[in-house]
Amino acid sequence: MGSTSSQLDKDALSEYQELTFLTKQEIILAHERFSAMLPQEYKGATNIRLPMEKILEMPELKSNPFNKRICHVFSTSQPNDGSLTFEDFLDLLSAFSEAATMEIKSHYAFRIFDSDNDGTLGREDLEKMVTLLTGDSKDTSLNGEEMGQLINNILEESDIDKDGTVNLSEFQHVISRSPDFVSSFKIVL
Amino acid sequence: NRKAKVKRKAKRVSDDDDEEEEEEDEKPSKRRGQRRRTKPQDSDEDDEGDKKSVASKASKVSGKKGAKTSRKEESEEEDEEDERVSKKKRGKAASKKEKEEQNNDKKGKASGKDGDNKDKKKKKNANSSSSSSENDDDDEDSLSEGEIAALMEQVEEKKKLISTIRSKPWRMKKRLLVLKEAQQFVEKFEGALGKGKGRRLYAFKVMMTKKLIKFNRDFENFKTACIPWERKIKEVESHFGSSVASYFLFLRWMYGLNLILFGFMFGLVVLPEVLMGLPYGSIPRKTVPRDEQDTAMDYSVLSDFGGYCKYSVLFYGFYNSDRTIGVLKFRLPLSYLLTSVGIFGYSLLVVIRTMARNANEGGDGGDEGEFNFSWKMFTSWDYLIGNPETADNKYASITTSFKESIVDEQENQKDENIHLRRFLRISANVLILCCLGGSGYLIYFVVKRSQDFAKMDPKKLTWLQNNEVEFVMSLLGLVCPPLFETIAELEDYHPRIALKWQLGRIFALFLGNLYTFLFALFDEVTAKLETEKSIKNATEWALSEYYANYTSFYNTTDVPPPNVNPADVIRGPCWESAVGREFVKLIVSDVQVTYLTILIGDFARAVIVRFLNYCWCWDLEAGFPSYGEFDISGNVLGLIFNQGMIWMGAFYAPGLVGMNVLRLLSSMYYQCWAVMACNVPHERVFKASRSNNFYMGLLLLILFLSMLPVVYSMMTLSPSFDCGPFSGQEKMYDVVIETIDQDLPAFMGTIFSYASNPGLIMPAILLMMLAIYYLNTVSKGYQQANTDLKKKMQLVSMSSILLLSFF
């Protein structure tokens, strides 16, 4: 325990406190959890990337339907394979923390939902979302007609300029009115 | 312009190098015009680089003079050296300034000529006497004033950037880079700005701000570390979702509130009486009467809060009515009154502040049906869930809610037999009203009977007869809600609406019970006041008899007070302590019933289902009893009502708040264990936060309702003549009036008498009503503006689509 906490030096710690919404204890805990997931030979090295499979083993992310999208959004690796460095991990926790603002959360939520990374939520993005949300088993998924009806209703409500897609500002407009969003868009270690 | 430039520079980190080169090229051509302007900065740099002390005017002048009269190369060298040595940002700022001056120059006459003229003027000034150099200095100081002001502005901007950097959705690397740059810039220029006279204050201010920021951050960290039970609640959250966890968060919030109320009550009322007041046994009100003394330590009497409990700091009757006690002249009666009122005031403040915070975060919920589908889609997943079983449940509930809302949309027009439905609903409401009335009457009846029991010999009563009132109330609280639920089946409402009706009915039940209980109690009080009058007359008659006998016997007028053991003095019935006792007994029985219900209803059920499942005909776990679900609304309502009773009873029994703190503490651990060990996650998961303000609203209502009896008794009922801190007064608030008259200066008395004049209060109330009406109208206006803007947006987008289709 002592060896892992001494790896995170004081300067870096105070910088991370400036740059994220996390408190000191949360950053230290994140560092411990991250180091615990590193394979033995890499312990103590900096700037190591954890592959996505390892990250998805964490209990907080395992049961989440959007876990892969989350990893892709926060990953800074070149081929964008979903692997995270410690700083990416901190970014993730900061965006999902209690103190993060509505703007940050809605920004990242939009990017997570945007599966094809085209900057808007089109019909395919929304369909993928519904499939993820309703789970994999046959008796919990919607059939084609219900899906179409649902997506039409959603677009009717949120698409203000009627261009067939939901862009970032429309999304933020919808989300900011919701009383549940900030409290449910949270991950705590 | 400049501000925009700074921001753009912050973002385009990679373009830095290009800009710098560009600026350096321009510099030599415009050097002459700019040299004067850059000089103050150069001299500042010199001072900073060489000595840290505040440069004396002389050295400054000589430095400037030297720079002026020396060759242009020197300043150029300095510039280049600075450029090389200092960090990027600083050089950019300097060169940026030059650009600005350039632009300014260009606006006037031709730049070079201007610069030359100014240059020559400077040289002439420099060559003349030192007095003119002073003018020069003032001139340059005034210039540097403007520049320094501009510099300060930049530094402030950078600081703002640093403080808001975490809200920008950039990658960590980019943020780190920007942060480092901004921090270096701020450091460099804060040092520069700190030089010279009059700047010391600025430097000091800067240092204090830094220390303050660091202190704030450490304090925030410390505060978060102090919050108890974080781990526990997080575990519950990950297993059961945020709705169940919201109950525990509410419990923790209540615990904090009660802790503070306990601090007030204990520190300002109980502690002074214990430390500085008279000890037990010294005066009649503090001693157990002679005829009760042999049973005073019995467990049955103590558990009924009689005996030694009754004559202790727990209850109102123990407190003495001396105006001031002890060495510090602490005014106990005043403090008692003000603390009781202060408890309500503080609770009101905290509840309203929490409600406002919830409303800000979550939107007003006024547009409930507006974004139904979108919210279901975007906000229904609870990211705190870390348990696969809960996740499966959540998937199922999301699918159900999707399907339901699709069907709802289609079925909205379907018109079933509306008359039958209306009839059923009315009959259901009638049935429920009958239930409520019945329970109210039952409680009244039972309280009246308990008064008769109290007149009989205590030893002959059974336990049931003694505690009948509490028993009946708890029973009603257990039996009626499921009864309401079954009757509500007739109504056939949507589940969420049905839940609201159910909560409203349970609320009405508890309220009705509580108020019936109070009415019966206060009936008793008036009866007690009658007996008190007769006892008071009897005591006074006995005292006057004693004086008369003594005088006639010893033939003196100097009569010592009667030497009677405090335990033998005739006592009045002390109705406040009796009321306090009733409240305490009620709350204790409530707690016992809650814990027993959990033990039997959840734990025993879980044990039976788990172990009998092996040898039972049908699957107990999936079929009939199965494991219980955590009843959120029932528990929250129980907590709210408990708090209401505490607020009511705290005036009559100061120890009650302390007992509640212990109860909440034990409740937290007990219920956390119970929920993890015996409950399963809900099948239908309800969102917590939308109900958050609903529960707070209930709490506020209960606060007002529990304030009423206390205020009523303070204003209208007269205190007992021989017990409590207000004995001897006509009304309880007379203490305040006495203090105003005697202790405060005269003008305050006149102020208070003016303030309580009805002629002043009526206009104040009218004014407040006008303000409420105005705010209401304004908010309606905003809503209207909102819808208009939305329509406008649609029109604009449609017209732009049309335009595009033409090209």
Question: What is Dmax (Cα atoms) for chain A?
Answer: 58
**For residues B258 and B248, what is the distance between their CA atoms, to the nearest angstrom?**
15
Is B51 strand, coil or helix? coil
In a domain, B740, yes or no: no
Answer yes or no: CATH 3.40.50.720 is held by domain A102-184. no
Closest partner CB to B173 (pick from A87, A137, A183):
A87
Identify the closest residue of chain A to B798 by CA–CA distance: A161
**Token pair belonging to B712:** 């009523």
Q: How many domains in chain B? A: 2
**For residues B535 and B289, what is the distance between their CA atoms, to the nearest angstrom?**
15
**For residues B745 and B739, what is the distance between their CA atoms, to the nearest angstrom?**
10
Q: Do A24 and B373 touch (CB under 8 A)?
A: no
Q: Are residues B273 and B175 in the same domain?
A: no
**For residues A122 and B432, what is the distance between their CA atoms, to the nearest angstrom?**
50
Identify the closest residue of chain A to B692 by CA–CA distance: A179
Residue B695, domain extent: 230-289+305-364+376-410+417-728
Tell me the Ramachandran region of residue B569: left when phi exceeds 0, alpha when psi lies from -120 to 50, beta otherwise. beta
pLDDT in tens, B722-758: 778 888 788 888 888 888 888 778 888 888 888 888 8
Point out the residues of chain B with pLDDT beneath 70: 1-144, 190-199, 360-370, 408-416, 457-460, 495-496, 555-562, 564, 566, 683-692
**For residues B145 and B132, what is the distance between their CA atoms, to the nearest angstrom?**
19
B165 contacts B179 by C-beta, under 8 angstroms: yes
Q: Are residues B197 and B254 in the same domain?
A: no
Q: Are residues B360 and B422 in the same domain?
A: yes
Render the burial of B750-776: b for 16+ CB within 10 Å, e for the rest. Answer: eeeeeeeeeeeeeeeeeeeeeeeeeee
Q: How far apart are the first and last CA of chain B?
A: 36
Instruction: Map tokens 């009946």 to a residue.
Output: B472
Answer yes or no: CATH 1.10.3470.10 is held by domain A5-95. no
Question: Concatenated DSSP letters for B253-302?
Answer: HHHHHHHHHHHHHIIIIIHHHHHHS--TTSSGGGS--GGGGGGTT-HHHH
Q: Are residues B309 and B431 in the same domain?
A: yes
In a domain, B746, yes or no: no
Neighbours of A124 (CB within 10 A): 12
B552 CB-side CA count, 13 A: 6
Closest partner CB to B386 (pick from A63, A101, A129):
A63
Q: Are residues B332 and B208 in the same domain?
A: no
Point out the residues of chain A with pLDDT beneath 70: 1-7, 43-46, 136-140
**For residues B182 and B155, what is the distance between their CA atoms, to the nearest angstrom?**
9
Which amino acid, one-letter code, is at A96? F
Neighbours of B201 (CB within 10 A): 10
In a domain, B114, yes or no: no
**For residues B349 and B355, what is the distance between their CA atoms, to the nearest angstrom?**
10
B499 CB-side CA count, 13 A: 13
Length, in residues, of chain A: 189
A57 contacts in chain B (CB < 8 Å):
none
SS3 assignment for B637-687: HHHHHHHHHHHHHCCCCCCHHHHHHHHHHHHHHHHHHHHHHHEECCCCCCC
Q: How far is A133 from chain B (nearest CA, A)?
A: 6
Sign of CA dihedral B724, B728, B729, B730: positive
**Token pair belonging to B654:** 């100061």
Q: Do B363 and A179 touch (CB under 8 A)?
A: yes
Q: Are residues B510 and B457 in the same domain?
A: yes
The burial class, CB within 10 Å (0-12 / 13-18 / 19+), for B85 is exposed
SS3 assignment for B333-391: HHHHHHHHHHHHHHHHHHHHHHHHHHHHHHCCCCCCCCCHHHHHHHHCCCCCCCCHHHH
A143 contacts in chain B (CB < 8 Å):
none
Final residue of a structural domain among B204, B226, B248: B226
Q: Which residues pair with B325 in a beta bridge?
A: B330
**For residues B470 and B305, what is the distance between their CA atoms, to the nearest angstrom?**
14
**For residues B651 and B638, what is the distance between their CA atoms, to the nearest angstrom?**
21
Q: Determine the pLDDT at residue B770.
A: 95
Closest partner CB to B162 (pick from A18, A135, A141):
A18
Final residue of a structural domain among B206, B226, B246: B226
A95 contacts in chain B (CB < 8 Å):
169
Render the burial of A58-81: b for 16+ CB within 10 Å, e for the rest. Answer: bebbebbbbbbbbbbbbbbeeeee
Q: How far is B147 from chain A (nearest CA, A)?
A: 30
By C-alpha distance, which of B738, B730, B734, B726 is closest to B574? Answer: B726
Final residue of a structural domain among B693, B728, B763: B728
**For residues B183 and B177, what is the distance between their CA atoms, to the nearest angstrom?**
10
In a domain, B20, yes or no: no
**For residues B577 and B722, what is the distance between their CA atoms, to the nearest angstrom?**
12
**For residues A139 and A148, what is the distance between their CA atoms, to the nearest angstrom?**
18
Closest partner CB to B166 (pick from A19, A60, A88):
A19
Q: Are residues B385 and B401 in the same domain?
A: yes
Closest partner CB to B387 (pick from A18, A63, A187):
A63
Q: Are residues B222 and B259 in the same domain?
A: no
Residues 6+ apart with CB under 8 A from B163: none
Instruction: Map tokens 């998937």 to a residue.
Output: B395
Q: Are residues B509 and B658 in the same domain?
A: yes
In a domain, B54, yes or no: no
In a domain, B77, yes or no: no
Q: Which residues pair with B628 in a beta bridge?
A: B679
Q: Where are the domains of chain A?
A: 5-95, 102-184
Is B502 strand, coil or helix? helix
A126 contacts A56 by C-beta, under 8 angstroms: no
Q: Are residues B202 and B271 in the same domain?
A: no
ipTM of the assembly? Answer: 0.84
SS3 assignment for B712-757: HHHHCCCCCCCCCCCCCCCCCCHHHHHHHHHCCCHHHHHHHHHHCC
Neighbours of A152 (CB within 10 A): 12
Q: Determine the pLDDT at residue B691.
A: 60
Length, in residues, of chain B: 807
A184 contacts in chain B (CB < 8 Å):
242, 379-384, 687, 689
Q: Are residues B221 and B240 in the same domain?
A: no
Which amino acid, one-letter code, is at B787? T
Q: Are residues B352 and B430 in the same domain?
A: yes
Q: Do A174 and B217 touch (CB under 8 A)?
A: no
Question: Concatenated DSSP letters for B533-576?
Answer: HHHHHHHHHHHHHHHHHHHHHH--S-PPPP---GGGS-----HH
